[in-house]
Structure 1
Amino acid sequence: MMSTFFGLNISRLGMQAQQKALEVAAHNVANANTPGYSRQTARMVTTAPMPYPDGKGMLGSGVKVAEIARIRDEFLDMQVRKELQTLGNWEARSRFLGQIELVFMEPSETGFNAVLSNFFDSWQELSLNPEGTPVRAALLENSNSLVNSVKHINEQLKTIRSDIDTNLAIKVVEVNSLAEQIKDLNSQVISAVALNETPSDLMDRRDMLIDSLAGLIEFTAVETATGAVNIFIGGRALVKDSAAYRLALEPSPGMEDAWPASPRIVWERDGSEAMIRNGEIGALGEIRDNNLKEYMHRFESLIWGIVNAVDAVHSQGMDLNGAKGEKFFKGDFLETLEINPDIKKDLGKIAAALLPEDWEPGYSPNPGDSRNALKIAQLRHFNLVFDNDAPLKGRLRFPSAGEAGLTTFENYYKDTIARLGVDAKESNRMTENQFSLLTMMNRRRESVSGVSLDEELANMVQFQLAYQASARIISTFDEILDTIINRMLR
């Protein structure tokens, strides 16, 4: 025969289960505004039934909380992290392409295009007054302005390259820090799971760290039966159970195609290269070795084209002293580019006249001639071909008959700015689109894992009523027992 207290035990279990459910709801409400918090729920199951005495069937024995479950959608997590990787990539591209664009898009009065125009205008003025000292001084001043502008732009582009390398180093340290923190949380989660516990709050903290990591690199996250989340980059483990494997930034000495070799991201344990794609780190390497390299290449090709063209014409002219002209510019690198020191000391060495052998029959050679200066001034209008086979040392030449791909100095520079503008605009547009997409994905994830105060309050009322009902049953049993024990014996 079943004990009289059986019903009391069922009610006791009911009160305990509802109380625990109320505590879970209170925890949800308390963390409604906690970043990264995942809603929790008390999952109730019936306790083991008992055979019904003196009859067929089983009699329920009550309820218990089987687990405090964490509400999370792994598919949405994967989608959000994928979008975070893409957003990190486009944000980095947009940021640095914007910086490159600012270098070239200087105010029109002081920008490179204006300085270049003043340079050729000065040669035009010299062709009108080849013996005038003020005109030659103005040419020297505008030539120096051109050289200074070139050096300024070159230095700014090199600074951006240095900033990218610095950012790479910082982000690699950040990846290592996140990996260490994820590893530590893995250890705590593994220990809790081994005791049949569900450390939901620890898992939330770990997922926030994994989301932060997603903005930096592309990876694969795999949750194991032990509760650990293992993270792989290019098939190699960054985090595995309770271990983290560090990345390092290894300087690459030397040059690649006349370009400083990029630092390599390697695995610290064996020095092998890490396969970094997407994310902010992936974008930084791509910007440095593709976008920035291309625009520095085009700028240097333009400058060496101008230098070589002016030098070629100037060295075939005659100065005021009747001597053959020298190269107008000196220097093998943009950093060392300058006006020929001899010309700076003696403005008479500016070769504005043609050499005697270039004079037509019947004309006498005259140092006051200006046709060589006019030839240099007219270089701005010539269609030229830029040969970029020698990286960062592009050369120009006059075209062959029928040759395509012709452009002037000014148009080549404008084309460079136009290309940069297209790249920067695309990056900005993709960043905005990606941000909108990520916002939508986060809302979907929040609708699953986030806390709804209205829903929690409704649950609390439900649990409270169930608790009161169980308590009422205990009161009823108390009255029955009181009747049996105290009143029936009288």
Structure 2
Amino acid sequence: MSTFSGLTTALSGLNAARTGLNVVGQNLTNVNTAGYTRQRADLASVGAPASGSLYSSGVKPGQGVAVSGIARLGDAFLDARVRTAFSSAGYTNVRANAVSDIQARMKEPGTDAVSGQLTSFWASWQAVSNTPGDAGPAATLLQGATTLAQSIGDGYRGLDTQWSQTRSQADMLAGEVNSTSAQVADLNDKIRSSAASGVPSSALIDQRNTLTARLSQLVGGTVRDLPDGGNEILLGGNVLVSGSQVNAVNVTGPTSMGAANVSGAGPVQLEWAKRPGMPVDLDGGQLAGTLSVLAPANGGTGGVIAETAAEYNRLAANLADQVNAVHTTAYTADGTPGGPFFSYTPGQAAATLAVVPKDVTGVAASASNVNGNDGSMADKISQLGIGPGSPDAQWTKTVLTTGTAARTALQQDVAAGTALTNAVTVQQSNASVDIDEENVNLLAYQHAYQAAARVMTAIDESLDVLINQTGRVGR
């Protein structure tokens, strides 16, 4: 072995230590970079050279150290766990927000809420029955009935607006899915090119992981790595992204709550753009939660917005029908037969509910057309708020159902959020940069560099003696 081989060995140590220092520096400078995964220089010992001849003998040391690669310290299992947690949290968060908005809009319990106004409405009828000839209680009744009808209508219209806004949100989420998928496909292409040319692609993989996590939050799905360095994302077994190829999606179906509840109307659903009519099978994510909220009313099992709107319609129709059934058999103070007290359009009861009498002369409180001071029919109407089939009982059930749904949705959202936090924490504990650990590595590589330099200096001094001082002994 050549005497000069020691210089090559020391040089390999310098190069390895320098690469290690560069990797540590990369980690430290990206300590606050979102989505960055720490890296490590993998070192491997260079073995002794093969024997040059059959008669070569003697112990031969190795030839130094080589950098075998720069490893990205990510964990595919932990990354998949984070994506699953994002999918679940995205789904539950949308549903929790929707039910919370509905509950906040009801403002129950309260005197200004529908339940409080119903109580005041029945009390006004009782006041009319006590003084049937007095115009004051009748005027108060009409004012309270108008306010009640407006509150029911406002509640329904608020839900209609919430449905339309949620529908628009679904379109925006689908657009984000398409744009994010296109970015993932572009990164797949760059990563494959880098892998083919031997250029490290850790930064590109970090960017892709951030985007796939966002896709999981949007639509769930499954991510699979491909042998060429790219990946593919599957939704319900169908390909959303595969390498550089993207299958776009779009939201189809009704654009208003009224149209969604028409018999025979198709559901609001996510479809493949290239295969119209074929729905995308979602297993989680914000878009799945949004579409579930937009489902039409179905006897209590449909979308929460449409189901609550249907309850407003039922309340309006029930209230009007029960009051009208008594009011049409009563008489006004001048003996005129009472007509309907409320009017509404079938199928749109909440939005069209209105008070028919324009003034106190239209209020029918008497059971006799010759006794205007008889308030028995007003008393009968005031009792309509009592009993299992009353509008009050129906609305109380609706409020309790909504409250229970809101509590359940919030509990699920909290649980999903906790699971996401835990998954991200475990992932970051493995992949994020630890400043203390990197400082230790920094010192280790620094001392390794100094040691390799000292070896090179020692060999250089030895060679100087060998070359320049040999043969000068005794002079």
On whether the aligned pair clears a TM of 0.5, the verdict is yes
Cα distance in 2 for residues equivalent to 1:88 and 1:50:
58
Read off the aligned partner of 1:171 and give its amino acid letter.
Answer: L
In 2, are the aligned partners of 1:51 and 1:59 still within 8 Å (CA)?
no
Instruction: Tell me how far apart the structure 2 counterparts of residues 260 and 169 of structure 1 sit (CA, whole Å).
Output: 19
1:191-270 equivalences under 5 Å are 191-252=193-254, 254-256=259-261, 262-270=267-275
8 Å contact kept, 2:44–2:66: yes
Number of the residue aligned with 1:403: none
Match of 2:18 in 1: 19
Q: How has the CA–CA distance of structure 1 residues 382 and 258 changed in structure 2, closer, same or farther, with 3 Å as cutoff?
A: farther
* 8 Å CA contact 2:328, 2:337 repeated in 1: yes
User: In structure 2, what is the Cα distance between the partners aligned to 1:103 and 1:256?
Assistant: 21
| AA at the equivalent of 1:291 | V
Residue 52 (structure 1) shift: 4.8
For residues 237 and 74 of structure 2, what CA distance do their matches in structure 1 show?
Answer: 26
Match of 1:29 in 2: 28
Identical aligned residues as a percent: 28
After TM superposition, the structure 1 stretch with the greater mean CA deviation from structure 2, 479-488 or 30-39, is: 479-488
Q: 1:276 aligns with which of 273, 278, 282?
A: 282
Q: For 2:25 and 2:69, locate their aligned partners in 1 and report how far apart those are by CA, in whole Å.
A: 16
* Secondary structure of 1:213 counterpart: helix
Hey, what does 1:401 align to over in structure 2?
A: none
Match for residue 316 of structure 2? 303
- Indicate the residue corresponding to 1:395 in structure 2: none
User: Is the contact between residue 51 and residue 57 of structure 1 (CA under 8 Å) also seen in structure 2?
Assistant: no
Q: Please state how far the C-alpha of 1:330 moved relative to its aligned partner.
A: 1.4
TM-score, structure 2 as length reference: 0.90
**Alpha-carbon displacement from aligned partner over 1:356-377 (angstroms, at most 9, x marks no partner):** 7xxxxxxxx5343222211111
How far 1:106 sits from its partner (Å)?
5.1
1:446 paired with 2:425, answer: no
Instruction: Say whether residues 1:368 and 2:397 are aligned partners.
Output: no
How much does 1:223 deviate?
0.9
Counterparts in 2 of 1:39-438, with a 5 A limit?
39-52=38-51, 54-55=56-57, 59-105=61-107, 108-252=110-254, 254-256=259-261, 262-271=267-276, 272-289=278-295, 290-332=303-345, 333=348, 334-340=350-356, 343-344=357-358, 347-354=360-367, 366-384=371-389, 408-438=390-420
1:344-398 CA-to-partner distances (Å, cap 9, x unmatched) read 1x53332222267xxxxxxxx53432222111111111332xxxxxxxxxxxxxx
Structure 2, unmatched stretches of 5+, are 296-302
Partner of 2:299: none
SS at match of 1:175: helix
Q: Superposition RMSD on alpha carbons, in Å? A: 2.1
Do the aligned residues in 1 keep the contact of 2:108 with 2:399 (CA within 8 Å)? no
Deviation at 1:471, TM superposition (A): 1.5
Alpha-carbon separation, structure 1, partners of 2:261 and 2:155: 22
State the partner residue of 1:392. none
Letter in 2 for 1:452: D
CA distance in 1, matches of 2:7, 2:314: 91
Instruction: Note the alpha carbon deviations across 1:405-439, whole angstroms, 9 max, x for none.
Output: xxx33232222222222222222233233322222
1:404 is aligned to: none
User: Any conservation in 2 of the 1:321–1:349 contact (CA below 8 Å)?
Assistant: no
Partner SS, residue 248 of structure 1: strand
Q: Secondary structure at the match of 1:317?
A: coil
Cα distance 1:292–1:213, how it changes in 2: closer, same or farther (>3 A)? same
SS class of match (1:451):
coil
Deviations 1:225-274 (A, max 9, x none): 11112111111111110122211122337444669754322111222221
1:203 shift after superposition: 0.7
- The alignment of Structure 1 onto Structure 2 pairs a total of residues equal to 455
8 Å contact 2:268–2:294 — kept in the other structure? no
* TM-score normalized by the length of structure 1: 0.88
Distance in 2 (alpha carbons) for counterparts of 1:191 and 1:57: 44
Equivalent-residue separation in structure 1 for 2:323 and 2:266 (angstroms): 32
Q: Which moved more, 1:125-134 or 1:451-460?
A: 125-134
- The aligned residue for residue 298 of structure 2 is none
State the Cα deviation string for residues 283-335 of structure 1 (Å, max 9, x = none): 11222322222222222212211111111111122233433322111121222
| Mapped partners of 1:349, 1:155: distance in 2 | 28
Offset at 1:58? 6.0
Letter in 1 for 2:333: L
Q: Secondary structure at the match of 2:44?
A: strand
The question of whether the paired residues in 2 share the 8 Å contact of 1:51 and 1:58 is answered with no
* Higher mean displacement: 9-18 or 107-116: 107-116
Between 430-439 and 375-384, the greater mean CA deviation after superposition: 430-439
Counterpart contact for 1:52–1:58, Cα < 8 Å? no
Letter in 1 for 2:282: I
1:78-115 superposed Cα distances (whole Å, 9 cap, x missing partner): 11111111111222122121110011125723211121
Range with greater deviation from structure 2 (127-136 or 159-168): 127-136
Distance in 2 (alpha carbons) for counterparts of 1:447 and 1:141 = 64
The farther-off stretch of 60-69 and 47-56 is 47-56
Question: What is the distance in 2 between the residues matched to 1:446 and 1:382?
Answer: 59
Partner secondary structure for residue 3 of structure 2: coil
